C-alpha cells in the first residue's frame, strides 16, 4: 500500500530536504511524486540537462524508505521554449498566441513541441532508469488544455478527417452538410468549428474527438520511450475524475493503471456523491484498481482559498477512495508554497512547515492503511449493476443539450446517487463493453446509440437482464445525426414503448405524475417529458395533466427472460429514484448485507476476502445495522448488531 505526498524539493532550501524526508518517514509515508513541473530545473538551456539536484533529493528520500514517481514535465514549457519556438504556444480565438506564464499552454500538433517533449522524456528515462528509488512515471499533468486553433491544428484536423471518412462525400453525408448548403468539395475548405454553440453538430463532435486524439497521441509518444528505457517502471497519468473534454477510455488504454486527482472539499460539508461517482468512472477506464495522485490536504484555491477540511475529513475522504478501489494515495501537497499562483493551495504542512493537525491526521491514515494492507491485497470492487458512461454522448449533449440544463453526467447522477444511498456498488462501462456480466444495466441519456449497441442491449434483456433507459436515449447515431425513426428507436423492442412526441418543461412549469402500479406516490415532473405510448409495456406512473393523461411517464416491459424499464421524464424528488432503484434491485434479487442510513456510504471490495467499508460523511453520530460477530479491522473488535460511527467516522469490516 503506497501512501505519500506530492513533493517539490526545488521549492525549498537544500537543508530542508532532510527534515522533510524524516517527517514523511515518521508519518508512515513511502512514496512521493516529483518533478512534473520541473522542466526548467532539469533542462535550463536546450539540450543541457541537469539532474544532480533530483539525484540528491531521491537519495535522501530513499534513505528514509520513500520511493518516487517522476512526472514528465511537459505541462509547463520553459521560458526558453516559448521564446525560441513561439509556434509551440497555442493559438487563441482572437488569433494571438497565448502568453507564456501559466501552464497547459502548448499546441499538441506542434512538431517542435512534440520533439522537445520526447527529448526531455528520453533524457529523464535514460538517467533515472537504473535508480532504485524510482518505481514509476506520471505522464505530463492533467491532460485537457484548451484547444489550439492554429494552422497546424487545422491541417492536422483535415488529415484526421480524411483518414476517418476516406473521401469528402462520406464526410458530407456524415455531417449532414446538405443543410444550409454547407457541402464541401475539398478538405482544405473545412474550418475549425470554433463556436460549438452554432456550428454543425457533426463537425463539433469530430473536433472534440480530434482534440482527444491529439492528447492520446502526445502521451503515447512519451510512453513509447518509457516502455523501452524503463521496462521495470509503471506508467500512469493523473486524470481529473469527471472532466469531460477527453475520451478517458482512450487516454487510459496504454497506461498500466489510472490515477486521478480528488478534491471534493469545497462548499459546505455534504455527502460526497461526486467523488464516489468519479472513483467508479476511474476504476472503469481499465477495469482495475487505481491510484489517487493528488488528494485534498487542506484548503484549496488560487486567488481565494476554500474552507479547511474539518477534523476527520482528510481521513474520511481517503477512505472513500480506498473503498472504491484505490491502491495508492498521495496528498497534494506536502507543504504549502510561499510563492506562485498556488500559494493558497494548502498542503499537509502550512507555509511555516510545521507538522500540525492535518499532518497528524494523514499520518494516522497512513498507519491504518499499512495495517489493512494484507487484508485488502488483491481485492477490488465487484458490481452486479453497471451504468453506461459514454464520452460520445457527453460531447453530443454538450453541443446540443436538447432541453435546458441537460447534461449526460446529471442524468447519470439521478440513478447513481440512488444506488449510492442503497449501499450498492456500481461499475462504469463503455457502450462497447460486455453487458452479460451484470444483472442490471442503466443507459441514462445515452444520446448517441449505435445500432449494434442497441441490439446487444436488447439481447441482454432477452436473456434475463434488466435494462433501465431514460429520456433522450437513442436520439443520434455515431455521426451526430438524428436517427430517422420513432424513439426510442431499436430499443422499442426491449422497452415495449414508442415516443411519438416530447417536450421541454420551462423552469416556471411542472407536471404532476403519480404511480399507477409498481411506483407509489405523487411526484413532480420537471425539465422534460416524453409522451410515452406503451406497446406492451406496463405503465408504472402517469401524468395528471389533461393533455398527457393517456401517456406514461414510467414503464416496465417483459421481454424474453428479462425486463426493460423506461423513465420518460426528470423527477424532482430523490424519493422517486430511491423507490425505482429498490424495485430494480428487488427484481434482480440483489440484497445488500449492510443498508446504510442517510449520510453513510457502504462499499465492498472483494477478492479471496470480502471487506466492507462503512463511511459516515456527516458531522452527526450515525448508527448502522451490521452483521454481528464480524471483525472490525481498525479497532480489532467483533461487531454487534449495531455499529456506531462518530462524525466522519469509518469502520472496516471483514465479512
Domain positions in the chain are 2-148+192-377, 152-189, 385-588, 600-654
- Residue-level pLDDT at 494: 98
Q: Helix/strand/coil (H, E, C) string of 544-609?
A: CCHHHCCCEEEEEEEECCEEEEEECEEECCHHHHHHHHHHHHHHHCCCCCCCCCCCEEEEEEECCC
* Cell numbers placing 78: 520553459
Q: Which of 3.50.50.60, 3.30.9.10, 3.40.50.880, 3.40.30.10 would CATH assign to domain 385-588? A: 3.40.50.880
Residue 121 contacts by C-beta under 8 Å, 6 or more apart in sequence?
A: 72, 74, 221, 222, 225, 226
Level-2 CATH architecture, domain 2-148+192-377: Alpha-Beta Barrel (3.20)
Residue 264 contacts by C-beta under 8 Å, 6 or more apart in sequence?
A: 272, 274, 275, 296, 317
Verify whether residue 500 is a known catalytic residue: no
What is the helix (H) or strand (E) element at residue 527, kind and residue range?
Answer: strand 522-534
Q: Which of 1.20.140.10, 2.160.20.10, 2.60.40.1180, 3.40.50.2300 would CATH assign to domain 600-654? A: 2.60.40.1180
**Interatomic CA distance for residues 1 and 105, integer angstroms:** 35
Burial zone of 339 (CB within 10 Å; 0-12 exposed, 13-18 middle, 19+ buried): exposed
517 band by pLDDT with thresholds 50, 70 and 90: confident
pLDDT in tens, 273-318: 999 999 999 999 999 999 999 999 999 999 999 999 999 999 999 9
User: Of residues 142, 313, 361, 601, which has the active-site annotation?
Assistant: 142
140 pLDDT higher than 90: yes
pLDDT in tens, 612-636: 999 999 999 999 999 999 999 999 9
pTM over 0.95: yes
**Interatomic CA distance for residues 108 and 212, integer angstroms:** 10
* Cell numbers placing 460: 441482454
> How large is the average pLDDT for residues 389-401?
98
Verify whether residue 294 is a known catalytic residue: yes
Amino acid at each position: 500500500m503506497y501512501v505519500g505526498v506530492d513533493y517539490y524539493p526545488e521549492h525549498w532550501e537544500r537543508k530542508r530536504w532532510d527534515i522533510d524526508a524524516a517527517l514523511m518517514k515518521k508519518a508512515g509515508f513511502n512514496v512521493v511524486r516529483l518533478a512534473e513541473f520541473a522542466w526548467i530545473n532539469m533542462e535550463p538551456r536546450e539540450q543541457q540537462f541537469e539532474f544532480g539536484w533530483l539525484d540528491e533529493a531521491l537519495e535522501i528520500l530513499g534513505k528514509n524508505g520513500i520511493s518516487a514517481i517522476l512526472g514528465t514535465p511537459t505541462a509547463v514549457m520553459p521560458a526558453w521554449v516559448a521564446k525560441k519556438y513561439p509556434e509551440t504556444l497555442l493559438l487563441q480565438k482572437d488569433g494571438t498566441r497565448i502568453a507564456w506564464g501559466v501552464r497547459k499552454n502548448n499546441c499538441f500538433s506542434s512538431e517542435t513541441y512534440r520533439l522537445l517533449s520526447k527529448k526531455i522524456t528520453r533524457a529523464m528515462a535514460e538517467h533515472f532508469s537504473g535508480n532504485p528509488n524510482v518505481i514509476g512515471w506520471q505522464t505530463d499533468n492533467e491532460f485537457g488544455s484548451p484547444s489550439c486553433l492554429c494552422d497546424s491544428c487545422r491541417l492536422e484536423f483535415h488529415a484526421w478527417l480524411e483518414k476517418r471518412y476516406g473521401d469528402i462525400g462520406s464526410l458530407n453525408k456524415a455531417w449532414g452538410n446538405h443543410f444550409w448548403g454547407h457541402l464541401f468539395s475539398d478538405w482544405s475548405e473545412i474550418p475549425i468549428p470554433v463556436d460549438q454553440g452554432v456550428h454543425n453538430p457533426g463537425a463539433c463532435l469530430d473536433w472534440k474527438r480530434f482534440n482527444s486524439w491529439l492528447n492520446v497521441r502526445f502521451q503515447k509518444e512519451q510512453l513509447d520511450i518509457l516502455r523501452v528505457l524503463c521496462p521495470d517502471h509503471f506508467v500512469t497519468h493523473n486524470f481529473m475524475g469527471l472532466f469531460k473534454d477527453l475520451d478517458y477510455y482512450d487516454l487510459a488504454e496504454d497506461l498500466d493503471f489510472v490515477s486521478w486527482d480528488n478534491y471534493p472539499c469545497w462548499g459546505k460539508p455534504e455527502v460526497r456523491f461526486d467523488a464516489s461517482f468519479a472513483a467508479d468512472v476511474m476504476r472503469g477506464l481499465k477495469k482495475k484498481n487505481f491510484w489517487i495522485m493528488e488528494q485534498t490536504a487542506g484548503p484549496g484555491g488560487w486567488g481565494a482559498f476554500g474552507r479547511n477540511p474539518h477534523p476527520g475529513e482528510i481521513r474520511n475522504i481517503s477512505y472513500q477512495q480506498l473503498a472504491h478501489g484505490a491502491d495508492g494515495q498521495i496528498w497534494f501537497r506536502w507543504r504549502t508554497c510561499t510563492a506562485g499562483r498556488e500559494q493558497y493551495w494548502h498542503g499537509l504542512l502550512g507555509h511555516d512547515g510545521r507538522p500540525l493537525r492535518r499532518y497528524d491526521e494523514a499520518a494516522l491514515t497512513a498507519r491504518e492503511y499499512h495495517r489493512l494492507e494484507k487484508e485488502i491485497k488483491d481485492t477490488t470492487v465487484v458490481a452486479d449493476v453497471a451504468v453506461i458512461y459514454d464520452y460520445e454522448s457527453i460531447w453530443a449533449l454538450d453541443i446540443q443539450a436538447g432541453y435546458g440544463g441537460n447534461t449526460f453526467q446529471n442524468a447519470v447522477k439521478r440513478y447513481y446517487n440512488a444506488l449510492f444511498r442503497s449501499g450498492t456498488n456500481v461499475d462504469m462501462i463503455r457502450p462497447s463493453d460486455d453487458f452479460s456480466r451484470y444483472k442490471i444495466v442503466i443507459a441514462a441519456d445515452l444520446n448517441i446509440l449505435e445500432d449494434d449497441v442497441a441490439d446487444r442491449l436488447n439481447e441482454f434483456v432477452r436473456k434475463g437482464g434488466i435494462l433501465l433507459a431514460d429520456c433522450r436515449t437513442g436520439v443520434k447515431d455515431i455521426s451526430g445525426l438524428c436517427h430517422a425513426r420513432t424513439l426510442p428507436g431499436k430499443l422499442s423492442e426491449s422497452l415495449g414503448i414508442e415516443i411519438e412526441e416530447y417536450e421541454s418543461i420551462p423552469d416556471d412549469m411542472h407536471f404532476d405524475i403519480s404511480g399507477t402500479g409498481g411506483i407509489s406516490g405523487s411526484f413532480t415532473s420537471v425539465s422534460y417529458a416524453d409522451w410515452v405510448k406503451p406497446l406492451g409495456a406496463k405503465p408504472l406512473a402517469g401524468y395528471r395533466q389533461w393533455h398527457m393523461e393517456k401517456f406514461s411517464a414510467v414503464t416496465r416491459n417483459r421481454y424474453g427472460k428479462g425486463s426493460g424499464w423506461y423513465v420518460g421524464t426528470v423527477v424532482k424528488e430523490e424519493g422517486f429514484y430511491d423507490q425505482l432503484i429498490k424495485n430494480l434491485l428487488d427484481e434482480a434479487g440483489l440484497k445488500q448485507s449492510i443498508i446504510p442510513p442517510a449520510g453513510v456510504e457502504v462499499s465492498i471490495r472483494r477478492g479471496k476476502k470480502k471487506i466492507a467499508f462503512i463511511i459516515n460523511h456527516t458531522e452527526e453520530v450515525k448508527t448502522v445495522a451490521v452483521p454481528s460477530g464480524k471483525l472490525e479491522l481498525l479497532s480489532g473488535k467483533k461487531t454487534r448488531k449495531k455499529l456506531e460511527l462518530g462524525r466522519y467516522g469509518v469502520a472496516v469490516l471483514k465479512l
